[in-house]
Structure 1
Amino acid sequence: MTHTVLRPRSADGADASARPRRSVALLVLVLGTLTATGPLATDLYLPAFPQIAADLGASEARIQLTLTAVMVGMAVGQMVIGPMSDAWGRRRPLLIGVAVFTVASFLCVLVPSAGVFVVLRFVQGVAGAAGAVISRAVVRDLFDGDAAARFFSRLMLVVGLAPMLGPILGGQLLLLGPWQLSFAVLGVVSAVSFVVVLVGLPESLPAHRRSPQSPSVLLATVGRLLRDPRFIGPTLTLALSFAMMFTYISAFSFVSQNEFGASAQQFSVMFAVNTVGMILGTQVNAALIGRVGTSRRLLAGLAGALAAVAAMAVLGVAGLAGLVSLTAVFFVMMFSVGLVFPNATTLAISSQPASVAGTASALVGSLQFALGGGLAATAGLTATGEASLASMTVVMLSTGVVAALVFVGVALRGHARSAA
């Protein structure tokens, strides 16, 4: 197994191996702030789900739909914003997206009904897609191979703080005021992100490297990406693994509080502990770069996640599931996806030229959030309309198994044929 050495590029394509560590750290911080906005938008209000359902007079399944709306919005937004950034550069679409996200966040404070809430969350998703898709494209502009994997692992360290701190902050905000306070805080964070981008993120795609695409050319590019096993294999692996994780994110607030009697604050602490697992996984991944191949690191993550979900199934069937045992299981699962996410992203994005990095990044994100949001929502399709530990387990185990099969059957074979 060969490895690409750490060799970052400057914006004009020249070698930038001598880039100061301080500038790399600043780039991690800026891109991490942008990428973390999406997870914060989903996790900050999770402890308030039961309260929101009661306040808006809606079912739990309807409130879970607000999470699905964000995922669908991010899927749609990335397919628009990604190609746009290939044609216009990275900064302009990013600033517009962050500005719209800020406005939508403050409007969520005023929602009169669950239906309006769902619509605004969709808008948030579309606008929030700018941070996710353009951050990945910027990394592709500047880094290759193992250098990209190392940077993505550093990025996940920053991004991981959002899902770790989000529910804790959300639970504490419920002690200070109603659930709407979470969206006011989210609006302030987004406004700060706008300033950070404006001041701290230079353009990484100069005009001579941009590739304006007509609709027909864009469709042809997307078609080629979908037919390329080196791209679509890791992308589907990432999307299905995200569906496994997002099922836990979207359903466990209800399950822990309604089925196991946890308080909003207890749920937020458990969620934070599990997120530490993901952060540790990404940093172990960074430490293994150069020693263990990218595909092997990814396979290890898939195996660990499947083992954790299988253990959850055994606990549920045996009637031994509790808050402590489930926290331990989810910790292992989150550690494992910390190995899956950066490596799957690296394999997919690095398989394509930088000229279509925005479009490739958009397709990665769109499939991730469309499949992740859509499949996770099926956990709530029970007779009562409420997610349960059993329904969570079925969805998570199914998506984890298919993710492993796709990676072995499509991605590995595609890379083997390419190497041959």
Structure 2
Amino acid sequence: MTSSSVVRPPAAQEAVRPVFAEGIPGWFSLLLGFLTAVGPISTDIYLPAFPAMEQSFHTSAGNVQFTLAIWFVGLAIGQLSVGPLADRYGRRMPMLVGNLLYAAASAVCAFAPDVTTFSVARFVASVGASASLVVPTACVRDVVSDRAAGARMMSRLIMVMGVVPILAPMLGGLVVEFASWRLIFWASAVYGVVCVALVLWVLPETLPYQKRQALSPVTLVTRYVSLFWDRGYNTYAMITAFSTFMSFSYLTAAPFVFVQLFHFSPLHFSMLFGVMSVFMIGASQVNGLLVGRVDTGRLLHGAVAMSVLGTLLMVGVSIWSVWYAPAAYRQYEVWLVIGTMVLALAPTGIIFPNAMMMALADHPSQAGAASALAGTLQYVLGALAGVVVGQFAATSSLPMAGCMCFGALMMLCMHMFRPAVREIA
């Protein structure tokens, strides 16, 4: 990298001072987790409302599911732009603009008269929310250079992120049970405003002027191309992306599978979703205890293998229930599906923090762009999962199980083709 590609500050600002001279305070992880949760809460909170929205808009289930795919597309596009902007202008400004955009667009979603207006507003909201997915991860890389410490901090971040998604679908289910689904999006708008206030008055700037990168179309394209062709980066980034494909196959299909097929009430579905999140959070905390003590490759290998096993068992249960199970035994299908889902999804709490930190490990000066490209890959595949699952009628759990199994098998392929393990130690 030439010296001209770095933004040079005035001489008085040349000395690079650590953001936290006396160590990273505990509230910093909480703050980043709360800000990052904009994405998960906006994905999860309206899942119990899918059937109600289908009736309100007088449209098909596929069109309602498609709004989730639109959300993922907006997150993917937004992250590609936000990452380089965060490397050029610092971390706070993109967060401010993004959360303002998210809050305004969520308010439009709340009074949208039809599914088309809702979809457009949802896309705009996702572009704004993309800042909250890119910037906090880059902030971790800014303040923590040690890989083991970074992985542990990412695990704590995932734990904090997980608290809101546990509550979100439960709250969404309560809203649908007793009020209009539109209240969900008014609450999302308020959440965006709170995030703006936190960025303005609490979040410190973690990227000093001396480390900011120049921004030009050529530099931008070159940066993304170099990242994508770095085998050490792209294999780990694709592991996180196919983990997202697996998770979003579940997110897209689960409301219809459990509400329409298994006859869960919106509230009961929300409680199930919370249970799944508890297992994922628990796995992330186990990861925080093990990282630095257990070989990173072994951690990833074990977690990926468990996800593959869980999805294969889910496919087997679905096939058995559709074609072979006696009618008297089909009442047990829901419990078998839930059990295999736990086995498949819980390991993502181990897969994501390790794979993400390994992807970013060798790119400290491009943490924003590297985080953005990884996030874009995740949400492109998440959008693809939503589109694929939406093509199937919710007459069995097999489409959900099949898509989740594909994601898990592709994670395994990426894991096998990764370069020699770079230790987190």
What is residue 213 of structure 2 aligned with on the other side?
A: 211
* Deviations 1:181-219 (CA, angstroms, capped at 9, x unpaired): 111111111211111111111111111210122110111
C-alpha separation in 1, matches of 2:28 and 2:395: 39
Contact 2:88-2:214 at 8 Å conserved across structures: yes
Contact 2:242-2:408 at 8 Å conserved across structures: yes
* Deviations 1:113-148 (CA, angstroms, capped at 9, x unpaired): 111111111111110000110111111111121111
Q: What secondary structure does 1:412 align onto?
A: coil
Q: What secondary structure does 1:216 align onto?
A: helix
Q: Which amino acid aligns with 2:58?
A: G
1:390 aligns with 2:398: yes
Contact 1:300-1:339 at 8 Å conserved across structures: no
Q: How does 1:277-356 map to 2 (within 5 A)?
A: 277-319=279-321, 320=330, 322-352=333-363, 354-356=364-366
C-alpha separation in 1, matches of 2:260 and 2:38: 28
What is residue 72 of structure 2 aligned with on the other side?
A: 71
Provide the aligned C-alpha RMSD in A: 1.9
Contact 1:51-1:179 at 8 Å conserved across structures: yes
C-alpha separation in 2, matches of 1:262 and 1:280: 25
Q: Which amino acid aligns with 1:19?
A: E
Contact 1:67-1:250 at 8 Å conserved across structures: yes
What is residue 180 of structure 1 aligned with on the other side?
A: 182
Contact 2:177-2:267 at 8 Å conserved across structures: no
**How far is the alpha carbon of 1:17 from its aligned partner?**
8.6
Deviant stretches of 4+, over 6 Å: 15-18
What is residue 40 of structure 2 aligned with on the other side?
A: 39
C-alpha separation in 2, matches of 1:138 and 1:127: 18
**How far is the alpha carbon of 1:356 from its aligned partner?**
1.0
Greater mean deviation of Cα atoms: 197-206 or 330-339: 330-339
Residues 24, 388 of structure 1: alpha-carbon distance in 2 compared, 3 angstrom cutoff:
farther
Contact 1:305-1:333 at 8 Å conserved across structures: yes
What is residue 4 of structure 1 aligned with on the other side?
A: none
C-alpha separation in 2, matches of 1:26 and 1:325: 40
Identify unmatched segments of 5+ residues in structure 2: 1-13, 322-329
The number of residue pairs the alignment matches comes to 401
Contact 2:66-2:386 at 8 Å conserved across structures: no
C-alpha separation in 1, matches of 2:15 and 2:347: 36
Contact 1:251-1:387 at 8 Å conserved across structures: no
What is residue 378 of structure 1 aligned with on the other side?
A: 388
C-alpha separation in 2, matches of 1:69 and 1:174: 22
C-alpha separation in 1, matches of 2:385 and 2:362: 27
C-alpha separation in 2, matches of 1:18 and 1:270: 43
**How far is the alpha carbon of 1:259 from its aligned partner?**
1.1
Contact 1:260-1:322 at 8 Å conserved across structures: no
Q: Which of 269, 272, 276 is matched with 2:271 structurally?
A: 269
What is residue 140 of structure 2 aligned with on the other side?
A: 139
**How far is the alpha carbon of 1:376 from its aligned partner?**
3.4
* Deviations 1:301-322 (CA, angstroms, capped at 9, x unpaired): 1111111111111211222563
What is residue 93 of structure 1 aligned with on the other side?
A: 94
**How far is the alpha carbon of 1:325 from its aligned partner?**
2.4
Q: Which amino acid aligns with 2:279?
A: G
C-alpha separation in 1, matches of 2:61 and 2:25: 43
Residues 211, 196 of structure 1: alpha-carbon distance in 2 compared, 3 angstrom cutoff:
same
**How far is the alpha carbon of 1:162 from its aligned partner?**
2.1
Contact 2:310-2:341 at 8 Å conserved across structures: yes
C-alpha separation in 2, matches of 1:305 and 1:99: 37
What is residue 402 of structure 1 aligned with on the other side?
A: 410
**How far is the alpha carbon of 1:15 from its aligned partner?**
6.6
1:19 aligns with 2:22: yes
**How far is the alpha carbon of 1:387 from its aligned partner?**
7.2
Q: Which amino acid aligns with 1:78?
A: Q
Contact 1:100-1:127 at 8 Å conserved across structures: yes
**How far is the alpha carbon of 1:296 from its aligned partner?**
1.7
Q: Which amino acid aligns with 2:106?
A: S
**How far is the alpha carbon of 1:388 from its aligned partner?**
4.0
**How far is the alpha carbon of 1:18 from its aligned partner?**
6.4
Q: Which amino acid aligns with 1:142?
A: V
**TM-score scaled to structure 1, two decimals?**
0.92
Q: How does 1:160-239 map to 2 (within 5 A)?
A: 160-239=162-241
What is residue 248 of structure 2 aligned with on the other side?
A: 246
Contact 1:29-1:158 at 8 Å conserved across structures: yes
C-alpha separation in 1, matches of 2:400 and 2:199: 38
Contact 2:177-2:266 at 8 Å conserved across structures: no
C-alpha separation in 1, matches of 2:135 and 2:103: 17
Greater mean deviation of Cα atoms: 325-334 or 393-402: 325-334
C-alpha separation in 1, matches of 2:179 and 2:419: 51
**How far is the alpha carbon of 1:375 from its aligned partner?**
2.6
* Deviations 1:217-259 (CA, angstroms, capped at 9, x unpaired): 1111111111101100000111011100110011100011111
**How far is the alpha carbon of 1:294 from its aligned partner?**
1.9
Q: How does 1:83-122 map to 2 (within 5 A)?
A: 83-122=84-123
Contact 1:47-1:167 at 8 Å conserved across structures: yes
C-alpha separation in 2, matches of 1:264 and 1:44: 11
Contact 1:233-1:407 at 8 Å conserved across structures: yes
C-alpha separation in 1, matches of 2:21 and 2:210: 23
Contact 1:141-1:204 at 8 Å conserved across structures: yes
Residues 287, 49 of structure 1: alpha-carbon distance in 2 compared, 3 angstrom cutoff:
same
